[in-house]
Chain A
Amino acid sequence: MPTAVDSPAAEVVVANGKRAGAVRARRDESLTGWAFAAPFAVLFVLFLVVPAGYGLYLSFTGETLTGANSDLVGFANYAEALGDPDMWRSFGNTVWFTVLSTIPLVVLSLAFALLVNLGLPGRWLWRLSFFLPYLLASTVVVLFWAWMYNPKLGLFNGVLAEFGIAPIAWLQNPNVAMISVVLTTLWWTIGFNFLLYLAALQNIPEQQFEAAAIDGAGKWRQLFSIVIPQLAPTTALILTLQVLASLKVFDQIYMLTNGGPAGSTRPIVQYIYEAGFTGYRFGYSSAISYLFFAIIVAISIAQYKLINRRSAQ
């Protein structure tokens, strides 16, 4: 900033005074910044950074409830986890659940959003119907669905009986239980992806459709050559969020099947919970948490690279 000064000497004095003022201003600014960030930073450090660090430390100890063997044990917990068939089975269940749930949760939510976006009458009702379950607590969802899955009195087997079909052990048959869990999850959480797609659909510029219509492109052609490519960034976002959400599955499985029958639906988060809170092996539980976290990071990086490469093309 140019300032009116008469002599070179005065210029130096003013410049020095300015610099001291600037330093003070910057220090004040810094203090103000920290004052604004502090309430969040304190909670963030106390309830995320500290437990994350403490968990990492625990994973290298033999810590149990009684604290009897809290010595450092090196990588023993990690080695044990990698050789634990139940850990691998739970991890496999989580991956299987993620695959089974992500595909319909992305494809069907797109289909629902496309249908609702047609501009048919009763728009608010369709939107409400698909989104409503998302507002329910997992406990409520499970109360509804466990009752419908009830082998003798449930709605599903009642309807099957009307058609003369033998009852299905929805939650008791190891071959069916995971499908039942996925159905419940689909009903419960599709509303979120559906709304993201619906919002994205409304942002597609109209001119593209006019141009396509002039070129004689039919509706199906428009869907595949305009709508779906335009939705690619939304699909990438939904896919990323959905995979992360599915990998964390716990509530509905724990309450519907308790991981059963015979561990056929137990997800990794339930295994971590059981190792910590029913087996009281805090060190071991923490080690599995960190192994799983490493996998989540790897999947996130892979997804990020895949999506970036696609959009670069």
Chain B
Amino acid sequence: MSTYTLSRGLQRNKAAYRRGHKPGENPWSVSRMVALLILAFLAGTWLVPFAWAILTSLKSEADAGASTLSLSPPDGFSLDAYRKVLSAGDIPLWAWNSLLTSVLITVITVATSALAGYAFSRISFHGRRWLYAAIIAAIIIPPQLLIVPLFRQMLAFDLVDTYWGIILPQAFAPAMVLILKRFFDQIPVELEDAARVDGAHRLRVFWSIVLPLSRPILAAVAIFVFIGAWNNFLWPFIVTTDADLMTLPVGLQTVKSAYGLQYAQNMASAILAALPLVVVFLFFQRQIIKGIATTGFGGQ
């Protein structure tokens, strides 16, 4: 903890120094204050949509649909919209569907990518080169372009309107295999050689030596895959028609069209849907930021 604060402090000094702001210089100079004002204005602007949505969600439907900029609505503020949205029953179910599918997608993707990444990094096997080339080529294929053949395939497999139909086409990520391979490449082989001389099997070596060393990158990959899966819209939208199987983004879209005029409830459901990932972010802020910095790939 203390090293952490220390390095944070150093970083801040570094940043201040970088600007040419010497330790003796006035940190409250006019140019710094101007920069601070600009920054505060921009950050404030970026938070407006959240603030406006929260404000609307706390109003009564009558007030939300009547007065535009009113900060003191006649009916006052209440959590009624949230209560109604939650008691209507569908949002908790969709949140559960989202959680279940996203967790499974994340677990399968991380496990298969780590195993494959390790094979590409350490083991020479027949066909390794062409499989690797195929994976690199696949990174540039946008999944959006495969919706028609994939949907027909799901019809043939009888997976339309099932959890596995949502999960399987999302449960692998060529980019993540490359990221993990590159990470494994940097681990010194000598660490594994010692264990292998003792006769430990590859899987054992992988499990007890390589994986523990790779925790940060595995966490980064897992968080990205989870965010991508939790927020994905197009594929779950195509493969589910049964409202009981919909994920949160897909369910909200259908409700939006059904109850178009209930603004307070619309905003309450949007806030509820946004909440889980915001909480996840607040917990894993450092890993997420580091992950973006080291991998350069994201949910996108």
Contact = CB atoms under 8 A, between A and B. Distances in A.
Interface of A: 26, 29-34, 36-37, 39-41, 43-44, 46-52, 54-55, 58, 112, 115-121, 123-133, 135-140, 143-145, 147-148, 153-155, 157-159, 161-162, 187, 189, 192, 195-196, 198-199, 202, 204, 206, 209, 213, 218-219, 222, 237, 241, 244-245, 247-248, 250-251, 255, 269, 272-273, 276-277, 282, 285-286, 289-290, 292-293, 296-297, 300
Given A55-B148, A125-B43, 16 more contacts: A36-B206, A52-B149, A117-B15, A118-B32, A119-B18, A120-B32, A126-B43, A131-B281, A143-B267, A154-B68, A187-B46, A192-B300, A222-B20, A282-B148, A289-B145, A289-B146
A222 B43 CA distance: 25
The 3 closest A-B pairs by CB, nearest first: A33-B125, A199-B293, A119-B15
A147 B102 CA distance: 28
A145 B50 CA distance: 10
Contact of B277 (A112, A135, A247, A273): A135
Contact of A138 (B66, B127, B231, B278): B231
Interface stretch (B78-86, B134-142, B187-195): B134-142
A181 to B, nearest CB: 15
29 contacts: A33-B126, A37-B119, A40-B116, A43-B168, A50-B153, A52-B141, A54-B153, A112-B42, A115-B39, A121-B36, A126-B39, A129-B43, A129-B46, A131-B289, A135-B274, A136-B277, A137-B231, A137-B274, A139-B248, A139-B256, A140-B270, A143-B256, A206-B14, A247-B142, A272-B148, A286-B149, A293-B142, A296-B142, A297-B140
B233 A139 contact: yes
Contacts of B113: 40
B168 A30 contact: no
B37 to A, nearest CB: 10
Interface of B: 11-21, 32, 35-36, 38-39, 42-44, 46-50, 52-53, 56, 64-66, 68-69, 108, 111-113, 115-116, 118-120, 123-128, 131, 134-135, 138, 140-142, 144-153, 168-169, 171-172, 174, 177, 202, 206, 227, 230-231, 233-234, 238, 248-250, 252-253, 256, 263, 266-267, 269-270, 273-274, 277-278, 280-281, 285, 289, 292-293, 296-298, 300
B42 A286 contact: no
A222 to B, nearest CB: 7
Contacts of B66: 153
Contacts of B238: 277
A137 B292 CA distance: 18
A169 B54 CA distance: 24
Nearest to A50: B153
B20 A137 contact: no
Contacts, number: 291
B125 A251 contact: no
A148 B56 CA distance: 11
B87 to A, nearest CB: 20
Contact of A48 (B38, B46, B119, B138): B138
B233 A138 contact: yes
Q: Say whether chain B's binding surface is mostly helix, strand, loop, or mixed.
A: helix
A39 B123 contact: no
A237 B142 contact: no
B234 A250 contact: yes
Given A119-B16, A251-B233, A276 B148 contact: yes
B153 A147 contact: no
A144 B256 CA distance: 12
A282 B66 CA distance: 46
A213 B274 CA distance: 46
A47 B115 contact: no
Contact of B35 (A115, A130, A247, A251): A115
B42 A115 contact: yes
Q: Say whether chain A's binding surface is mostly helix, strand, loop, or mixed.
A: helix
A148 B49 contact: yes
A58 B152 CA distance: 10
Contact of A206 (B18, B285, B289): B18
Contacts of A206: 14, 17-18
Contacts of B39: 115-116, 120, 126
Among A51, A198, A247, chain B packs the most CB atoms within 10 A around the CB of: A51
Contacts of A237: 296
A219 B18 CA distance: 10
Nearest to A188: B49
Given A36-B202, A39-B111, A115-B39, A158 B69 contact: yes
A153 B123 contact: no
B125 to A, nearest CB: 3
A244 B168 CA distance: 24
Given A276-B147, A282-B148, A40 B172 contact: yes
A29 B172 CA distance: 24
B46 A130 contact: yes
Contacts of A133: 46, 49
Nearest to B144: A269
Contacts of B144: 248, 250, 269, 272
B153 A155 contact: no
Contact of A187 (B49, B171, B273, B278): B49
Contacts of A218: 20
A132 B126 contact: no
B275 to A, nearest CB: 10
Contacts of A129: 42-44, 46-47
Nearest to B253: A139
B140 A244 contact: yes
A189 B152 CA distance: 32
